[in-house]
Structure formats: structure tokens, C-alpha cells
Amino acid sequence: MKADKTQISRLLKTARGQLDGILRMIEEDRYCMDISNQLMATQSILSKANTEILKAHLDNCVRQAVESGEAGAKLDEIAALIEKLAKR
């Protein structure tokens, strides 16, 4: 992985902390909208982490594959990922 491991780890640990908090909220029978807002905040953090990882992948792995003339497999991976994102 070529992304900034410190940044990604920090984001994922924050998301994990938020998930633990959400679980407590559920156990405490907290207000649905509050739980939903926390879930959306957690999704946003996970999305940011994924975006950073994908940017680093494009900047490093895909760029290397293009420069070496072997981009086909990497471009297929990106196309498959775009299909997954489009289905969301």
C-alpha cells in the first residue's frame, strides 16, 4: 500500500471509535436520528480513507503499470471498482 499509513490508520481508528460509540448508543436505546447521524459520519470517514488509498493506487501502482506498458490489468481493476461504486 502506497497511501500514507499514518493518516489511513488514524482515520480507521477514528471510525472504529465511532462504531463503538454507535453500539453504545444502540444499547442505551438512543434517538434514531442521532444514531443515523453518527452512522453517516462514520461512513464519511471510511469514504475518505478509501479515497486516499485509491488516489495513492492511481499515483503509484497504476502509473507504474502504464509506464511499463502493462496497464491492462490495472485498468480492468479500476473499471471493476467503478462498476461497484455505480451500483451503490
Mean pLDDT of all residues in the chain?
95
Instruction: Give CA–CA dist 86/88, Å, rounded.
Output: 6
- Asked whether residue 1 carries a pLDDT value surpassing 90, the answer given is no
Question: Grid coordinates in use for 12?
Answer: 480507521
Which residue is it, cell 480507521?
Answer: 12
For residue 15, the domain's CATH number is 1.20.58.1000
> For 12-71, how does the pLDDT look when each residue is reduced to its tens digit (9 = 90+)?
999 999 999 999 999 999 999 999 999 999 999 999 999 999 999 999 999 999 999 999
Q: Model pTM?
A: 0.86
Domain count of the fold of the chain: 1
Name the residue range of residue 57's domain.
5-87
